[in-house]
Amino acid sequence: MDKLVITGGVPLSGEVTISGAKNAALPILASTLLYRGTSVFSNIPKMGDIATIKKLLIWLGASIEERSDQTAVEFKKINRQDAPYEMVKTMRASILVLGPLLARCGEARVSLPGGCAIGARPVNLTLSALERMGAEVKIVQGYIQAKVKKLKGAKIVFDTPTVTGTENVMMAATLAEGTTLLENAACEPEITDLARCLSLAGASIQGAGTETMTIQGVRELHGVDYSVMPDRIEAGTFMIAGAITGGDIFIRKGKSRDLKAVTYKLQEAGVEIEEEKEGLCVKAKKGIQSVDVKTAPFPGFPTDLQAQMAALMTLARGFSIVTETIFENRFNHVAELVRMGADIRINGNQEVIRGVSRLSGAQVMASDLRGSASLVLAGLAAEGETQVSRIYHLDRGYEKMEEKFSRLGAKMMRTRGAL
């Protein structure tokens, strides 16, 4: 298995360009099940999870053509309506084909996504919403079996805002008969990006990015030309990398409007962040002050940057309390940070972090996507060498990470492991 070998202590400098957003590209690629004709997408990132959903779309009948920096997708026919366990178990977000398959074909058999390292990850809200829209939904031998003659618009109120739940229902509703009203919808920018793409294809959607969305069903949708938004979680990861190394970097395509809570917290911690037309300037010459962080649905502090922020707080002056409110087990990186010299105590859904003056490099092991990013950031700041193993977790959600960091001056290389 590959490892990342990092020699810490180098303040990052220079410019990095952010790739397309994984969590926008996934639902946008799934939405091609709804379209008649070819769609051409740009800014689709090249990473594990994107490869997985492309494999699933081809399994369902898509033809996918990779052009230089574009991806063309067409379903001449949808040959299958099932997403097998072998595919879904590697990426839970495969459930994003459920809504489109039901809307387009009236049936779907999708493996129930299991939990993952960060939590149980139930999908009950999606399933009950589709039932409200007239689908018969059963769980048979670990598979979601759903069928319906024609989905009907309905009023749906989510108990809690769910990102992929909002995306699944929005996609299903675009071809339903009548109007769907979705309350307590998630507001993440990736949802707005998907809604923008669906509207270009002919969908009628109001309120994307707010808690209340209205979707009027239409008869059919056509292919689109669409460019996926930049990845705000990658941008946030690089902002924190600039901060933790005391660097001075420019993050091209970084947009503070998608990262208001993160920008605010980093500025509170003493990081200088300036928004320019093409991106964000991040400077952190004066050391870092501890701040408290509490994750929340957008526009709150994103749970996908909690682990990275915790890494920064291990070297901040004072105490910080990091509270995770979205997932039940998103502290897998803590034990590894402690092995690097961090002073962190877990207390329920909170990490109490006492800043220390230095971290020391160590051999550490990644166990989930964003937790592995946190270990990389700690390695960039630690004295000596850090080896991060099991970086297949990282490769699921970051494109060319070691290349991008090396271009910013980091001493980081990938060693190819035998196994």
Write out the residues near ligand EPZ by the rule CB under 6 A: 22-23, 26, 93, 119, 121-126, 160, 162-165, 186, 303-304, 326-327, 369-370, 397
Asked if residue 56 lies in contact with residue 86, where contact means CB atoms within 8 angstroms, the answer is no
Q: Nearest approach, Cβ of 164 to ligand EPZ (angstroms)? A: 3
Contacts of 371 (CB under 8 A, 6+ apart): 117, 307, 330, 332, 333, 336, 393
Q: Nearest approach, Cβ of 120 to ligand EPZ (angstroms)? A: 6
Report helix, strand or coil for 302: coil
Q: Computed from CA positions of residues 190, 194, 195, 199, in that sequence, does the dihedral angle turn out positive or negative?
A: positive
* Cα 253 to Cα 251: distance, rounded to the nearest angstrom: 6
Would residue 105 show up in a list of annotated catalytic residues for this protein? no
Q: What is the Cα 230 distance to its own chain's centre?
A: 11
- Closer Cβ to ligand EPZ, 130 or 186, answer by number: 186
Q: Nearest approach, Cβ of 303 to ligand EPZ (angstroms)? A: 5
Angle ∠(215,220,222) on CA atoms, nearest 5: 105
- Closer Cβ to ligand EPZ, 110 or 369, answer by number: 369
Q: What is the 3 state secondary structure string of 220-282?
A: CEECCEEECCECHHHHHHHHHHHHHCCCEEEEECCCHHHCHHHHHHHHHCCCEEEECCCEEEE
- Closer Cβ to ligand EPZ, 39 or 303, answer by number: 303
Residue 130 token pair: 């589709």
Q: Nearest approach, Cβ of 348 to ligand EPZ (angstroms)? A: 15
- Closer Cβ to ligand EPZ, 250 or 298, answer by number: 298
Q: Nearest approach, Cβ of 379 to ligand EPZ (angstroms)? A: 19
Residue 387 token pair: 């080896």
Selected catalytic residue, list 116, 187, 197, 281:
116
- Supply the residues annotated as catalytic: 116
